């Protein structure tokens, strides 16, 4: 596996913030909100986090893989995505859409 890209598997992310807090470069930004979900037969609703946005700033990322290691739900993974070359520094900020694993698109 090439260590050339860190991909986000959106469905697995629970917005627990662990990757954001452990990142030594502070290059991950995550926004989420909480909703009440009532399961059938449950007595009271449970709180569920919904991921609003997830961004990795690849101009800062040092590909250390700490975020991949700490993710308890394997929502982040090494990926053989294309190497990232841009003409704008802002284009290095990748959101949920661009972070999808290479097999999915």
- In the complex, which residues of this chain contact another protein (CB under 8 A)? 2, 4, 15, 17, 20-21, 23-26, 28-34, 47, 49, 57-64, 82-89, 91-92
DSSP 5: -
Q: What does the alpha-carbon distance between residue 13 and residue 72 come to, in Å, rounded to a whole number?
A: 9
Cβ nearer to another protein, comparing 17 with 41: 17
Cβ nearer to another protein, comparing 30 with 75: 30
Nearest approach in angstroms of CB 98 to another protein is: 12
């Amino acid at each position: 596996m090439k260590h050339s890209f860190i991909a986000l598997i959106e469905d697995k992310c629970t917005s627990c913030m662990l990757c954001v807090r452990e990142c030594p470069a502070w290059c991950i930004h995550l926004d989420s909100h909480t909703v009440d979900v009532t399961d059938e037969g449950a007595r009271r609703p449970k709180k569920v986090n919904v991921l609003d946005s997830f961004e990795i700033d690849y101009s800062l990322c040092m590909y250390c893989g700490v975020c991949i290691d700490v993710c308890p739900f394997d929502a982040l993974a090494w990926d053989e995505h294309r190497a990232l070359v841009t003409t704008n520094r802002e284009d290095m900020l990748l959101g949920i859409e661009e972070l999808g694993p290479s097999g999915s698109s």
